[in-house]
Amino acid sequence: YDDDIGKTDLQTQLEQCIKLISVFPMLAVYGYHAYNYYECGGSMYIHRPDPSLSTAENLLKMLRPDQKYTDLEAHVLDIALLLHMEHGGGNNSTFTTRVVTSSGSDTYSVIAAALSSLKGPKHGGANIKVMQMMDDIRAHVADPLDEEAMADYLGRIVDRQAFDQKGLIYGMGHAVYSLSDPRAVVFKSFVHQLADAKGRSRDFEYYNTIERLAPQVIAEKRHIYKGVSTNVDFYSGFVYDMLGIPVELYTPIFAIARIVGWSAHRMEELVNMDKIIRPAYQSIMQPRDYVPLEER
């Protein structure tokens, strides 16, 4: 629908990015309502956004049938969007943004590639795995304050004897952060406020106990002593659940936030670089004599 898709000047690229940032909440929420109507037999709501409201307020307004939300709900969602908005160039989807930008591709193809990266369960889908794990833990540990039972079950998860047998406590650890993920530290106090307001304090205790015990269990079982801490994915799914946001929108909400960072990195790549990113691979195979096909 963009007649300027072929233009390569920086002003056009910037305008395209800003337009996408503005319409992503609508694309996500309307897409969900269409899916819920056509695939799940639910009702479809089309509420127009209000230009005077924030992205978080409009997202809740468009999603909910009654269009109502509290100031605390909107504020906590706004904090979540801010914390997910940018995270340097090393994360997978942002690196994808830079790689595809470096090829000279258009804005829409670049963002589509970034979305494809974010879709992966090891990236944007991580908070869904946290929610699934928490459901499993609640089913096996009756009291969130029973530290002995909690540590034992977390140990079983790490030993691949429980949950999905992958040996991972989801929401724990980060490729860069070891002492703490500053995003999770900031987020936790707001999560606590929302949990109290929603009557979910007991659920919050599960998260609090796991956050305290998991690093000890992982250090003991995996002999990792550099430090393991919660990352922002540990709490984000819990927040979305308390806000009544369907799980199908968890990753799209991540995209609503992160497209701001993607856009910034795209513009920086266009301004500062004019060379395609081409990774170099080094083979570790040993030389072998050629064997004719008929002799294999």
Q: Find residue 230's DSSP bridge partners.
A: 172
Contact of 277 with 268, CB cutoff 8 Å = no
Cα angle vertex 284, ends 279, 289, to 5°? Answer: 125
Look at residue 153 and give its three-state secondary structure: helix
Q: Which two tokens stand for residue 56?
A: 């978080």
**If we measure between CA atoms, which residue out of 59, 58, 23 comes closest to residue 246?**
59
| Long-range pairs, 43-49, Cβ under 8 A, ≥24 | 49/25
Distances (CA, A) of 265 to 114, 207, 249: 11, 33, 24
Q: Encoding tokens for residue 231?
A: 């990352």
> Is 275:227 a contact under the CB 8 Å cutoff?
no
Cβ atoms of 127 and 233 within 8 Å: the answer is yes
CB contact at 8 A, 184 and 235: yes
Residue 176 main-chain phi, psi, to 5 deg: -110, -50
Residues 200 and 266: their CA atoms lie apart, in Å, by 40
Dihedral (Cα; 139, 143, 145, 151), 10-degree rounding: -50
Q: Residue 230 in 3-state DSSP?
A: strand
Residue 243 to residue 61: CA distance in whole angstroms: 12
Residues classed as catalytic: 174, 233
